[in-house]
Chain A
């Protein structure tokens, strides 16, 4: 199956700093990628839809100025958590979809803000 790679797998940052998470489709082009957030022992909550060459579409309640999404190419989307706070600590997962197939997920990024 198609491979989606997420980097880094885990990151620790200080409060007030920004951290960038990358999501790459390794062997296919993805016009659309999705970013999810997963709290411990909970489900995946869709944060935003990332479209190549255009602005991301954010779900209700997600702060677009805090969670900056850039989809600069057909194989790369980035999520930047700006001015991170401890409550932003979570597991972030991206997914990408081939045309008319299921979505493929990255391995996730565990963010800890101290």
Chain B
């Protein structure tokens, strides 16, 4: 069975600074998708970024980028120029071949003004 591990329950970063959230996963599949989702206080799940496992190039979406290390099964999220609106719970997620999405326990990100 696949597992997703987020080892940082909480993190804080100064506004405008850069922060990296860690995520590791375990799988025997070779083809899969990885995601980072943001869950603000409204609890609406918002997709931040997606990475296909077959792509070597790291995904980037504006201030958000990932460091995908397939061999190490690592998928970290870097947020540049942190903004107050980035404060939320961030979940790393894995989507398997059967379409199920498995979430890590989450990292609560605080932005310090």
Contacts and interface: CB of A to CB of B under 8 A. Distances in A.
Interface of A: 1, 32, 34, 38, 42-46, 49, 91, 93, 95, 97, 102-105, 107-108
Interface residue range, chain B: 10 to 19
Nearest to A110: B43
A49 B45 contact: no
Given A43-B104, A44-B91, A102-B35, A107 B99 contact: no
Given A38-B43, A46-B102, A102-B47, 19 more contacts: A42-B105, A42-B106, A43-B103, A43-B104, A44-B45, A45-B103, A46-B101, A49-B99, A91-B43, A93-B43, A95-B101, A102-B33, A102-B50, A104-B47, A105-B37, A105-B45, A107-B43, A107-B44, A108-B44
B44 A103 contact: no
7 contacts: A42-B105, A49-B100, A93-B45, A102-B47, A102-B50, A105-B44, A108-B43
B42 interface: yes
Interface of B: 33, 35, 37, 42-45, 47, 50, 91, 95, 99-106
A105 B45 CA distance: 6
Contacts of A103: 95, 101
Q: Which 5 A-B pairs have the closest CB atoms?
A: A105-B45, A43-B103, A44-B103, A43-B105, A107-B44
B98 to A, nearest CB: 8
